[in-house]
Amino acid sequence: MKKITLILFTSFVIGGLGSAIAQTFTLSNVTPTIVASDVWGSYDSHVSISNTSSSLKRVRIERIINYIAPGQFEYFCFGTTSGLCYPPGTQLSNGQDTIWGNSTDNSLKATLNPTGVFGAASIHFRIFDTDNPADSVGVDLAWDITTSIGENDQAYGISKPVHNPADAFTIYNYNLKSTDNSDRLVVFNMLGTKMKAMDIPGKSGALILTTSDLKPGMYLVSYISNGKVKDTTRLVVNHR
């Protein structure tokens, strides 16, 4: 009798442990790596989280940076109801967001802003039950901000104007794959008339474009290399 009781008790414990370590969450719609060439863009990576249990779960997100290029910054957002976005450097969400049983939440979004810096970034996100941290699942999201994509041989990086509208001046940051003595930043009015130009020295740096001598209005600012327009941005001049 004691032997039978021991066997039943052991089976109950093993079964209970199996239930305790069962994973509630599954992930889908994951893009493991985003590849881009615009160092002044903003790149979102989304993850869908499914609660496979029949009960409501409070969910917390832990953010762990594997690596990130110096100068780039990241943040993440989560919560169908709260829609909270957490600033760079945040390790944990508040843990109060919920996912109903047998349902999927599509609100987890991780964003990388290269801010003019080429390079790769990788961030690990652990999704877990706020009330049972051992019940978790993880995913690595990566970004590769490169100077070219596939057959794109027009690899360059010129920022949008830092001050736009501009009063007395604005700034353009640049980080180029290669340089040419003819590299210039040229300002045109909306009729296509060239108003002014600046040489671009070296592969990277910042250009201060004086706008105090331009009349208020809209302008087109083009990055021209070897006689070809590689990029064009709009600039508004508005004197105070």
Average pLDDT, the chain: 82
- CATH 2.60.40.10 in the chain is located at 22-145
DSSP annotation of 162 reads S
Q: Give the per-residue pLDDT at 5.
A: 40
CB under 8 Å to 118, separation ≥6 — which residues? 39, 69, 145, 146, 147, 157, 175
For residue 155, the one-letter residue type is: A
More confident residue, 11 or 159: 159
Q: Does this model's pTM top 0.75?
A: no
- Tokens 């474009």 sit at which residue? 209
pLDDT at 22: 66
Distance CA 126, CA 116 (A): 28
How many Å apart are CA 79 and CA 49, to the nearest integer?
11
The architecture CATH gives domain 169-237? Sandwich (2.60)
Range from 7-11, 148-152, 206-210 that averages highest in pLDDT: 206-210
pLDDT digits (tens, 9 = 90+) for 46-95: 999 999 999 999 999 999 999 998 878 888 989 987 677 888 888 999 99
CATH superfamily of 22-145: Immunoglobulins (2.60.40.10)
